[in-house]
Amino acid sequence: MNSTSDDTMLLTTPFHSRVSRACELNAWGSWKGYTTPKAYTDVELEYFAIRSTTGVFDLTPMNKYRITGPDAGPFLNRLVTRNVDKLGIGRVGYTVWCDDAGQVMDDGTIFHLGENDYRLCAYARATDWLFWSALGFDVNIEDETAAVAALAVQGPTSCAALTAMGLEGLADLKPFGLAEYDFEGETLMVSRTGFTGDLGYELWITPRLAETLWDRLFEAGAPYLIKPFGSDALEIARIEAGFLQAGVDFVPAEEAVRNGRTRSPFELGLDWLVDLDKPLFNGRQALLREREQGSRYRFVLLDVDGNKPAHNSFIMKGRRKVGTVTSAAWCPTAKSNVAFAQVELPHGAVGEELVAEIYYQRELHWTRVLAPCRVIEAPVFNPPRRRATPALPF
Amino acid sequence: MLERNPYIGGATVSRELHSGWTYSNCSYVCSLLRPEIARDLELPRHGLQVVPYGGGVTFKQDGDHFGNYYDHERQYREMARHSVRDANAYERYTADVMKQTRLIRPFLLRRPPDPTSLKWRDLRDLAEFAGAFTAMGEEGLADTLKFWTKSVGDYLCEYFESDVIKAHLAGSGIIGTALGVFSPGTAYVLLHHYMGDVDGNVGSWGFARGGMGAVAGALARSFQSFGGEIICDADVDQIIVNNGRTRGVALKNGTEYRADIVVSNLDPKRTFLDVMDAADLPADVVHRAENFKIRGSSGKLNIALDGLPTFTGLDKRSPLMLGDMHFSDSLERLERAYDDWKDGTWSQDPYLDMLIPSQADPTMAPPGKHMMTVFVQYAPPRIRGREWTDEDKAGFEKSVLDQIARYSPDFKDLILHCETRTPRELEAEVGLTEGNIFQGELTFDQLLFNRPFPGYAQYRGPVKGMYLCGSGTHPGGGVMAAPGANAAREILRDLRLPDIVPGGYADD
Amino acid sequence: MTDHDVVLVGGGHNGLICATYLARAGRRVTVLEAGESPGGCAATREFAPGFSVSSCAQWLNQLNPEIIRELSLEKHGLQWAARNLASVSLDAGGRHLVLQGEQLEGERLTARDRESYPSFRRRMLRYAKLLATACGTRPPKLVESNLADRLNLVKLGLGLKMLGREDMGELMRIILINMYDLMEEHFDSEQLKALLSLHGVLGSHMGPRSPNTVFGYLYHCMGEHHGYLGPAQVQGGMGALGNALAASARDAGVEIRLGTRVAGIDTRAGRVVGVTLSGGEQLRAPLVVSSADPVTTFEGLVGYRNLETGTVRRVSQIRYKSGCAKLHLALSGAPQFTGLDPSRLGQRLVIAPEMDYIERAFNAVKYQECSAEPAMDISIPSVNDPTMAPPGQHVLSAIVQFAPYAPAGGWEQHRASFTSSLLDCLEHYAPGISAQVVGAELLTPADLEARHGMKGGHWHHGELSLDQVMMMRPFPGATQYGTPVAGLYLCGAGSHPGGGVMGQAGHNAAREIIRREAAA
């Protein structure tokens, strides 16, 4: 017995000493049981750090599972909708995974670290599902959430800042690529990944060196105008970039209580992640049937007239309610008013004109707006620098 | 309203048996009380305050414990201390149990339809019931049927690997029930304890400030505010039946009350076998009442304490001290406790559901002192076929106190007074036949349209003008107030009066 | 190009029945059986020199007579050594209870017992008839039902209504409860209550007090509905039934390969393609039918890694804990049961003096212990069928409840002591029997698993309890014999309506396969 239940208070990440010093607003939230800042200084300024200089986000609470063993590859291939065989060593892939009914349980990223060695990053805790999925495979699964400290370093000067910290040659790392550096005698893993839709990297290191990494990063990054950002700023950035959030834009399949409230990858606009040519994966048979018989919903990006975010709005076609908004934000860089919505098919084709029923209040006065909106094909923010290799200095 | 005892409340009662202490002598926590009824009868205005307590703890024999924290994330971390997989599986478990809870809750404030009837109202209700089932989908429906027919032990084994977590959760599947954790049907009993809520938090439990008597007190004041009259010390001898319909009741002291409608809040056995004459009843009702299963399975200790006891490995300021405490750390120990009941004796290693409400409620004990309520399972209605003796009662009490003392070194020294109630006392004082706390076992032959008997599940008795409104009717016991409300609705209907009884809240 | 339309894994009775119907419908069927003789649990084995015994199932009391007729089993060699045997509940003092059909004899019966039993039995048979209707077809889906399912549902609903209001209400009251309480409601005699409640728990991991055992009893009563007023004994042991089934199958064109163990069922892209034998040989076929239990089929043969996770979870949650062992004794002479007329020695002898006795026996197995005083269902087949033992000598075969699958320390530590406690138990009723024993064999649940490939040694291929019947058997997603693997079907007792030597699962599966493959 090495701990008692009295030790189960809210956790802090290995960066906490630095994060709490920087968190001038004392605006804290809980992310998967970790104390995390909603904002450090000012949400707007933090957002613009991501879009104009470099923003840093403490990613440690993200659920991380290390998957090793001779069957690691086949195991993942059965688990997720993408073809993991096509993911080379040193590459990262975004994917979703489904239950047998083809309903999305979660989305996340797979890091191919080495031969028979992978890391799965997931929004929701997945131990239970991974356990059941592992039966019949020679595979070892370890929850390394607390064993790996992680920072997201995102923004146009992020490559420059990290290079200044000593990560030579980082500019040549391709999107979704992995590189390893020596850092104080330990391995610092860097992936060109992120949740902001901009040039950006994620850093992975042992918790022991977390504070050192933070200090060196902010020291080296100072000339590149580096700044920490909290979850509020991230929310704007990810909507602008068109990224889904589990638990917000869809209900993880096994958490749903009401029949019919879950969504398939097709219904979330993630067809490109589903490889039906793969002989076997969870949800394949159901998804094949859905392909034949048709889906119920379509996930759409909406460009909404006006500047009032369409939070929680009904989406109307004429007088009929055809959908609901799951995420919405005014996007400061793209200067557009974006909403994610799930609409009933056949609605939601690109270009279709719909109406968002928006309620907002100013000084206790509520206004109802019927804002015209249209279905757009691609996220409103998608700069070439996101993909440019070698990465640009700013 | 006629009450045999000098005080009202039945098993929902607070009494001072030791000067300065208030005991919730029988029922001791509150969750199932339908909020629709509490609100409609203005119980808060009449003095009822229910304070959620949240959480609980099961002590392990190795000195550790499992804490069931109210906060979801903290509970995750505590579960993960015992098993990471279980901590994660608990999220799926919660969703799955909630599916079942959502299915059953809308039917609590409804009369159960009679599946053998061809009446329009029954067919309509049945269709609605079937609709709720089919809305769960083919697999969801199969899961539901499995849930209703499975043992709580087997059900929990589908999710969890940790013995102490399974044992902690399994308790709700056996409380008040003459079944073991591996008896099929106990998963439903689990549901019976999960389907309540405090302020919309489904599954959570609370203390009634002032003890459970506060529930009865508020109900009485509400009743009186509408002109109701309560007569205590009125021991009913007989429901008077004349020409196939009720005419009133006669008390043991000879007083008679005349009324066209007589409603019995007694359990079906007492109603049909004690206060009614077999000659006034159809033979099958007498037969069914005789066969009605109402075996008690539990006892109760109420203890006045000189201070807050110390529990090994648990800080006295821990929120877990406020919750329900248990000492059975494996399903096997729970099952063996049931084997003793089957053998006709009290459990040598009993399952306890123990709380110290005086930590949250200042009215229960003098400042600095405490009141402890200990629900004990199992205790049979008779000891190997004979009545309980005082020696048996002392042995029962000892098995409980000894178990607590194994985890709390100063517990025995703090005891100022202890009220011990075996099924014998529960029957003699409260009138719960055989000491069954639900006025009838919660097995499928006595649930829904079978409660209390097939054909009589809609609150109407076999004699015109006679009704049942106790926990022996759907949806059963647990201080729920639903049977009474449902009965009132049927009576109003027969009287061709408007239905003023509230229905259930919509989707939770 | 393949030589088979269907490869059928396992030549047990359900497998052979399914194969025969498929072959008669024009399919080229190959049955692969690991054992050296066909029949699976319908087997006869010489366990001591000159002494043979039905080594798994010992009575025939559920095999649907329609199947016997349709497969011409009597023409193919099925002979009856005895039929409609009485059940004798043994009393150590010799005051036995004898039950045969509606006939009830015993000096300890009360007037109420004698009066109640016939009406009780008739009512139970009405329920058993309804249950047999439900068992005769695939279990209907309730939500995604198609026309066939809806017709089935209507048929069952009508059957329920046709019971009349009182019987229907009573069925809906008792269907989920336990035998203990039901018996207490109806009877006085402990012997009678115990004998009937044993019927409710035979082959299961439940005691008379376990809810759902009334269902077990009704299930047992289906035998009577099919015309078995008591158990029947097959001439030559149950293996002769296996041979008759095999002969019927071959007659229909089925190829049966004995001594051929299937190592794996091969799949590609979620579809079955054939099987691989333990020797490495591969047989290709568009359809594979497994009569193995679902856990063995999916975990052992298909492999969890070739299934979707939800299916894996469903399969691993099937309850298949058995509590049954089998005792075989070679006896130098006819045993003498106290007070038992020797003419009854060939009947079914039961040791279950009271319900609490059975319940106590059950308590032990909950904790993986052996019952100190187990219940027994005894057959002395050599009385009705002298071919089973050398002249003048006898064979005793007993189903023993309860014995655990894995007692602490392993079976080898317990085998001798349990066997001797069983002999002590028999000695109590048949003094001197121990001295007559010239050979003994105990088959534990683990042995039955090893010999017959039944997971957990469970003769129903998975507990037959209400949470595992109808549209829940073996698990949602495989309830109509088809499985989540396209082209793979189940036809064993693990599917609706379960086992005992009933044959219904094999029959229903064949019908479903023919129907579905015709539609495809």
CATH of residue B151's domain is 3.50.50.60
Angle at A286 between CA A284 and CA A291, to 5 degrees: 90
Are C140 and C175 found together in one domain? yes
Are A302 and A374 found together in one domain? yes
Average pLDDT score over residue span B441-452: 91
Distance of CA B237 to the CA centre of its chain: 27
Percent of chain A whose pLDDT exceeds 90: 96
Average pLDDT score over residue span A317-327: 96
| Model ipTM value | 0.94
Average pLDDT score over residue span C167-178: 93
Are the beta carbons of C305 and A132 separated by less than 8 Å?
A: no
Q: Is residue C403 part of a domain?
A: no
- CA dist., res. C277 & res. A376, Å (int): 56
Pairing of strands B201-202, A200-205: unpaired
Residue C515: how many CB atoms within 10 A of its CB?
A: 14
Chains in contact with C, where contact means 3 or more Cβ–Cβ distances below 8 Å, are A, B
Tokens of residue C159, six digits: 């059957």
Q: Give C-chain residues touching A137 at CB under 8 angstroms.
A: 304-305
Are A79 and A46 found together in one domain? no
Cβ–Cβ contact B142 with A under 8 A: no
Q: Give B-chain residues touching A259 at CB under 8 angstroms.
A: 135-137, 140
Residue among C270, C299, C305 whose CB faces A284 most closely: C270
Q: Could you tell me the CA-to-CA distances from A50 to A160, A230, A388, B476, C283 in Å, in that order? A: 14, 11, 17, 59, 61
Are the beta carbons of B182 and C173 separated by less than 8 Å?
A: no
Give residue C340's pLDDT. Answer: 96
Q: What is the CATH number of the domain that holds C490?
A: 3.50.50.60
Using DSSP, how many helices (H) and how many strands (E) does chain A show? 8, 19
- Cα of B357 to nearest chain A Cα, Å: 21
Cβ–Cβ under 8 Å, residues C285 and C7: yes
Tokens of residue A146, six digits: 């607390």
Percent of chain A whose pLDDT exceeds 70: 98
Give residue A1's pLDDT. Answer: 40
Residue A77: how many CB atoms within 10 A of its CB?
A: 21
C57 has a pLDDT exceeding 90: yes
Pairing of strands B262-264, B370-377: unpaired
Range of weakest confidence among A170-179, A188-197, B169-178 = B169-178
Which of B139, B155, B451 would best serve as a mutation to test chain C binding (most C beta carbons within 10 A)?
Answer: B139
Are A227 and A163 found together in one domain? yes
Are the beta carbons of C169 and B455 separated by less than 8 Å?
A: yes
Average pLDDT score over residue span A168-178: 97
Residue C112: how many CB atoms within 10 A of its CB?
A: 12
- Cα of A137 to nearest chain C Cα, Å: 6
Percent of chain B whose pLDDT exceeds 90: 80
Q: Is residue C362 part of a domain?
A: no
Cβ–Cβ under 8 Å, residues C373 and C360: yes
Residue B468's beta-bridge partner residues? B264
In terms of residue numbers, what domain contains B4?
Answer: 1-508
Q: Is residue C264 part of a domain?
A: yes
Cβ–Cβ under 8 Å, residues A304 and A331: no
In terms of residue numbers, what domain contains A325?
Answer: 296-378
Q: Give A-chain residues touching B77 at CB under 8 angstroms.
A: 8, 11, 33
Are the beta carbons of A254 and B315 separated by less than 8 Å?
A: no
Are A353 and A217 found together in one domain? no
Residue B304's beta-bridge partner residues? B371, B417
Sign (positive/negative) of CA torsion A184, A186, A189, A195? negative
Q: What type of residue is C395?
A: V
Average pLDDT score over residue span B191-215: 84
Q: Mean pLDDT over all residues of chain A? A: 95
Give residue B311's pLDDT. Answer: 97
Give residue B235's pLDDT. Answer: 96
Are A209 and A168 found together in one domain? yes
Q: Is residue C415 part of a domain?
A: no
C379 has a pLDDT exceeding 60: yes
Distance of CA C184 to the CA centre of its chain: 27
- Cα of C158 to nearest chain B Cα, Å: 12
C141 has a pLDDT exceeding 80: yes
Give residue A3's pLDDT. Answer: 61
Q: Is residue A43 part of a domain?
A: yes
Percent of chain C whose pLDDT exceeds 90: 93
Are the beta carbons of C471 and B142 separated by less than 8 Å?
A: yes
Q: Angle, nearest 10°, between helix axes B137-149 and B84-104? A: 100
Are A235 and A155 found together in one domain? yes
Pairing of strands A34-39, C375-379: unpaired
Burial of B442 (0-12, 13-18, 19+ CB in 10 A): buried
- Cα of B314 to nearest chain C Cα, Å: 31
Are A304 and A228 found together in one domain? no
Which of B58, B59, B78, B100 would best serve as a mutation to test chain A binding (most A beta carbons within 10 A)?
Answer: B78
Residue C376's beta-bridge partner residues? C351, C400
Q: Is residue A389 part of a domain?
A: no
Are C157 and C215 found together in one domain? yes
Instruction: pLDDT band for C86, please (50, 70, 90 cuts).
Output: very high
Q: Mean pLDDT over all residues of chain B? A: 93
Largest CA distance in chain A: 65
Pairing of strands C87-89, C348-351: parallel
The helix or strand, by DSSP H or E, that contains position B461, with its residue range, turns out to be none
Largest CA distance in chain C: 71
The helix or strand, by DSSP H or E, that contains position B318, with its residue range, turns out to be none
Cβ–Cβ contact B387 with A under 8 A: no
Which of the 8 DSSP states describes residue B230? -
How many contacts (CB atoms, under 8 Å) link A and B? 72
Q: What is the CATH number of the domain that holds A120?
A: 3.30.70.1400
Cβ–Cβ contact C119 with B under 8 A: no
Chain A residues near any Cβ of chain B (below 8 Å): 1, 3-6, 8-11, 30, 32-33, 101, 125-128, 131, 143, 254-260
Are A215 and A349 found together in one domain? no
A2 has a pLDDT exceeding 60: no
What backbone torsions phi and psi does residue B455 show, to the nearest 5 degrees?
Answer: 90, -15
Total count of residues recorded for chain B = 508
B204 has a pLDDT exceeding 90: no
Q: Give A-chain residues touching B64 at CB under 8 angstroms.
A: 1, 4
Q: Is residue C89 part of a domain?
A: no
Average pLDDT score over residue span B246-261: 96
Are A313 and A351 found together in one domain? yes
Are the beta carbons of A32 and B137 separated by less than 8 Å?
A: no
A80 has a pLDDT exceeding 90: yes
- Scored b (16 or more CB within 10 A) or e, C384-422 reads bbeebbeeebbbbbbbbbbbbbebeeebeebbeebbebb
Tokens of residue B419, six digits: 């009220």
Total count of residues recorded for chain C = 520
Are A228 and A335 found together in one domain? no
Are the beta carbons of B98 and A257 separated by less than 8 Å?
A: yes
- Cα of A379 to nearest chain B Cα, Å: 33
Residue among B138, B149, B450 whose CB faces C476 most closely: B138
Are the beta carbons of B143 and C476 separated by less than 8 Å?
A: yes
Residue among A3, A10, A257 whose CB faces B95 most closely: A257
Q: Which chain C residue lies closest to B145 (C-alpha atoms)?
A: C467
Residue A70: how many CB atoms within 10 A of its CB?
A: 13
- Scored b (16 or more CB within 10 A) or e, B391-414 reads ebbeebbebbbebbeebbeebeeb
Average pLDDT score over residue span B274-289: 95
Q: Is residue A256 part of a domain?
A: no
Instruction: pLDDT band for C2, please (50, 70, 90 cuts).
Output: low
Closest Cα to residue A152, out of A188, A123, A187, A190?
A190
Q: Mean pLDDT over all residues of chain C? A: 95
Task: For residue B226, give every residue at least 6 positions away whose Cβ sits within 8 Å of its Cβ, in sequence order, or none.
Answer: none
A207 has a pLDDT exceeding 70: yes
When divided into structural domains, chain C yields a total of: 2
Are the beta carbons of B443 and C359 separated by less than 8 Å?
A: no
Q: What is the CATH number of the domain that holds A325?
A: 2.40.30.110
Residues 285-324 of B with CB under 8 A from A: 313-315, 318, 320
**Strand, coil or helix: A15:** coil
CA dihedral B423, B426, B428, B429 (to 10 degrees): 160
Cβ–Cβ contact B382 with A under 8 A: no
**DSSP string spanning B144-201?**
HHHHHHS-HHHHHHTT---HHHHHHHHGGGTTT-SS-TTSTTHHHHHHHHHS-EETTE
Q: Give C-chain residues touching A129 at CB under 8 angstroms.
A: 309
Q: Which chain B residue lies closest to C475 (C-alpha atoms)?
A: B142
Are the beta carbons of C467 and B443 separated by less than 8 Å?
A: no
Are the beta carbons of B318 and A6 separated by less than 8 Å?
A: yes
Q: Give B-chain residues touching C372 at CB under 8 angstroms.
A: none
Residue among A101, A129, A285 whose CB faces C270 most closely: A285
Are the beta carbons of A259 and B140 separated by less than 8 Å?
A: yes
Q: Which chain A residue lies closest to B91 (C-alpha atoms)?
A: A255
Range of weakest confidence among A130-134, B268-272, B409-413, C495-499 = C495-499
Are A29 and A161 found together in one domain? yes
Instruction: pLDDT band for A26, please (50, 70, 90 cuts).
Output: very high
Average pLDDT score over residue span B418-437: 93
Are C221 and C244 found together in one domain? no
pLDDT digits (tens, 9 = 90+) for C313-368: 999 999 999 999 999 999 999 999 999 999 999 999 999 999 999 999 999 999 99
Burial of B271 (0-12, 13-18, 19+ CB in 10 A): buried
In terms of residue numbers, what domain contains C515?
Answer: 6-41+63-77+239-318+455-519
Burial of C368 (0-12, 13-18, 19+ CB in 10 A): middle
Chains in contact with B, where contact means 3 or more Cβ–Cβ distances below 8 Å, are A, C
Which residues of chain A form beta strands (DSSP E)? 27-31, 34-39, 54-58, 63-68, 92-98, 104-114, 117-122, 140-143, 149-154, 178-183, 186-191, 200-205, 226-228, 297-304, 314-317, 320-331, 336-344, 353-362, 365-376
Q: Is residue C385 part of a domain?
A: no
Closest Cα to residue B467, out of B162, B174, B111, B147?
B111
Q: Which chain A residue lies closest to C317 (C-alpha atoms)?
A: A132
Are the beta carbons of B454 and C169 separated by less than 8 Å?
A: yes
Give residue A6's pLDDT. Answer: 65
Residue A154's beta-bridge partner residues? A55, A200
Tokens of residue B259, six digits: 């009324």
When divided into structural domains, chain A yields a total of: 3
Q: Give A-chain residues touching C316 at CB under 8 angstroms.
A: 132, 135
Angle at C395 between CA C394 and CA C397, to 5 degrees: 150
When divided into structural domains, chain B yields a total of: 1
- CA dist., res. A389 & res. B379, Å (int): 76
**Strand, coil or helix: A16:** helix
Q: Could you tell me the CA-to-CA distances from B79 to A185, B330, C156 in Å, in that order? A: 36, 15, 46
Q: Which chain A residue lies closest to B66 (C-alpha atoms)?
A: A5
Give residue B214's pLDDT. Answer: 94
B248 has a pLDDT exceeding 50: yes
- CA dist., res. C517 & res. A294, Å (int): 25
Give the residue carrying structure tokens 């102490």. B164
Give residue A4's pLDDT. Answer: 66
